[in-house]
Copies of this chain bind each other. A is one copy, B any other.
Amino acid sequence: MDIELKKKLAKNWFKILQDMICNEIEKLDGKAKFKSNNWRRNKKKDEGGGEYRILENGKIFEKVGVNFSEVYGKFSEKFKKKIPGTKKDSKFWASGISIVMHMQNPHVPAMHFNTRYIHTSYGWFGGGIDVTPCFDDKKLKNWFHKELKGTCDRHNKKFYKKYKKQCDEYFYLPHRDEMRGIGGIFFDYKKENWEKDFNFIRDVGLTFKKISRDIILDKNKKKWTKKQKEIQYIKRGRYIEFNLLYDRGTKFGLQTGGNTNAILMSLPPIAKWK
Closest B residue by C-beta to A272: B270
Segment among A43-51, A180-188, A218-226, A240-248 that sits at the interface with chain B: A240-248
Q: CA–CA, A233 to B268, complex, Å?
A: 13
Q: Which residues of B contact A270 (CB under 8 A)?
A: 233, 270-273
Are A175 and B260 neighbours in the complex by a CB distance under 8 Å? yes
Q: Which residues of B contact A272 (CB under 8 A)?
A: 269-271
Are B233 and A240 neighbours in the complex by a CB distance under 8 Å? no
Residues of A within 8 A of B (CB): 56, 174-176, 233, 237, 240-241, 244-245, 254, 260, 263-264, 267-274
Interface centre among A233, A237, A245, A273 (most CB of B within 10 A): A273
Known: A244-B245, A269-B272. 4 other contacts (CB 8 A): A175-B260, A175-B263, A175-B264, A269-B273
- Contact status of A244 and B240, CB under 8 A, knowing A175-B260, A260-B175, A269-B273: yes
Are A237 and B267 neighbours in the complex by a CB distance under 8 Å? yes
Are B260 and A176 neighbours in the complex by a CB distance under 8 Å? yes
